[in-house]
């Protein structure tokens, strides 16, 4: 896509205060975040991706997260690229579930060497740490960016980004544009979802790095 050349992006989460405030806000929309993954799968409309997505828990149990991430596993009927795409969305789903769970329990952000008492919580925190160690923030965001441009075509992407970046666009015109074009409206919603996902990932990686530094003390 000619207009989608990757550019460096300044990090939005630069302090623990911003990370905490961001998690408070995003946690209120946890169902929307999880539903967004299903919308992305629906937008790509490849049944094999759904098959991999649904089989992911069994695949993790059989092969482990690392081998899945490294594309060392063959899935009947899927290409390597299809498996990589479905695997990325599956990892994202699992990461979001445990991140929101641990945040609500007050365990995600820890001060000092706090012992986690419940085994389930310890396993969930271990999963978060394992994923963030295995996949860098940059790789995760790059993968999601590639998926974004599979779901949203170039025409819709150009229209949406141009409309929101043009200060002369009136709100009524924007509303009418999305109201009368369901496909464009869906693309806009998915684009907003991807934007929020990147912020969520920034928060998670910042917090895990913070926790690690505190524990090393």
* pLDDT one-digit tens code per residue, 170-196: 777 777 888 889 999 999 999 999 999
Check pLDDT > 60 for residue 79: yes
Report the pLDDT value the prediction gives residue 165, as an integer from 0 to 100: 80
Report the pLDDT value the prediction gives residue 217, as an integer from 0 to 100: 61
Tell me if 169 sits within 8 A of 14, measured CB to CB: no
Distances (CA, A) of 93 to 8, 111, 128, 171: 26, 26, 12, 33
- Domain membership flag for residue 187: yes
Report the pLDDT value the prediction gives residue 8, as an integer from 0 to 100: 57
Alpha-carbon distance of 162 to 169, in angstroms, equals 9
When divided into structural domains, the chain yields a total of 1
Tell me what the mean pLDDT of segment 44-60 comes to.
Answer: 97
* pLDDT one-digit tens code per residue, 93-108: 999 999 999 999 999 9
Report the pLDDT value the prediction gives residue 39, as an integer from 0 to 100: 94
| Mean pLDDT across the chain | 90
- Domain membership flag for residue 5: no
Tell me if 77 sits within 8 A of 48, measured CB to CB: yes
Check pLDDT > 80 for residue 88: yes
- Domain membership flag for residue 9: no
Check pLDDT > 60 for residue 7: no
Tokens of 12: 């939005």
Question: Tell me, what DSSP letter sits at residue 135?
Answer: S
Cβ neighbors of 144 (< 8 A, separation 6 or more) are: 88, 92, 194, 197, 198
Check pLDDT > 80 for residue 59: yes
Report the pLDDT value the prediction gives residue 102, as an integer from 0 to 100: 95
Report the pLDDT value the prediction gives residue 1, as an integer from 0 to 100: 44
- Domain membership flag for residue 192: yes
Distances (CA, A) of 199 to 20, 75, 115, 129, 205: 12, 31, 28, 18, 10
Question: Tell me, what DSSP letter sits at residue 110?
Answer: -
- Domain membership flag for residue 40: yes
Alpha-carbon distance of 80 to 103, in angstroms, equals 34
Backbone angles phi, psi at 116, to 5 degrees: -90, 120
Range of the domain at 153: 16-216
Report the pLDDT value the prediction gives residue 114, as an integer from 0 to 100: 60
* pLDDT one-digit tens code per residue, 136-170: 999 999 999 999 999 999 999 998 888 878 777 67
* pLDDT one-digit tens code per residue, 15-25: 999 999 999 99
């Amino acid at each position: 896509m000619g207009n989608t050349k990757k550019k460096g992006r300044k990090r939005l989460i630069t302090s623990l205060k911003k990370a905490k405030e961001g998690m408070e806000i995003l946690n209120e929309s946890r169902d929307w975040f999880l539903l967004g993954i299903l919308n992305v799968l629906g937008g790509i409309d490849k049944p094999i991706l759904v098959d991999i997505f649904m089989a992911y828990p069994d695949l993790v149990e059989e092969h482990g997260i690392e081998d899945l991430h490294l594309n060392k596993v063959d899935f009947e009927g899927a290409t390597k690229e299809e498996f990589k795409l479905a695997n990325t969305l599956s990892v994202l789903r699992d990461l979001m579930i445990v991140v929101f769970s641990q945040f609500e329990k007050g365990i995600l952000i820890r001060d000092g060497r706090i012992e986690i008492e419940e085994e389930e919580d310890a396993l969930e925190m271990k999963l978060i740490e394992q994923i963030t160690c295995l996949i860098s923030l940059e790789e995760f965001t790059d993968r999601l960016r590639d998926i974004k441009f599979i779901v949203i075509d170039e025409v819709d992407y150009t229209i949406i980004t141009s409309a929101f970046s043009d200060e002369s666009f009136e709100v009524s015109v924007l509303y009418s544009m999305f109201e009368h074009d369901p496909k464009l409206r869906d693309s806009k919603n998915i684009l907003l979802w991807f934007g929020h996902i990147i912020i969520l990932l920034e928060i998670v990686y910042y917090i895990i790095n913070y926790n690690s530094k505190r524990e090393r003390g």
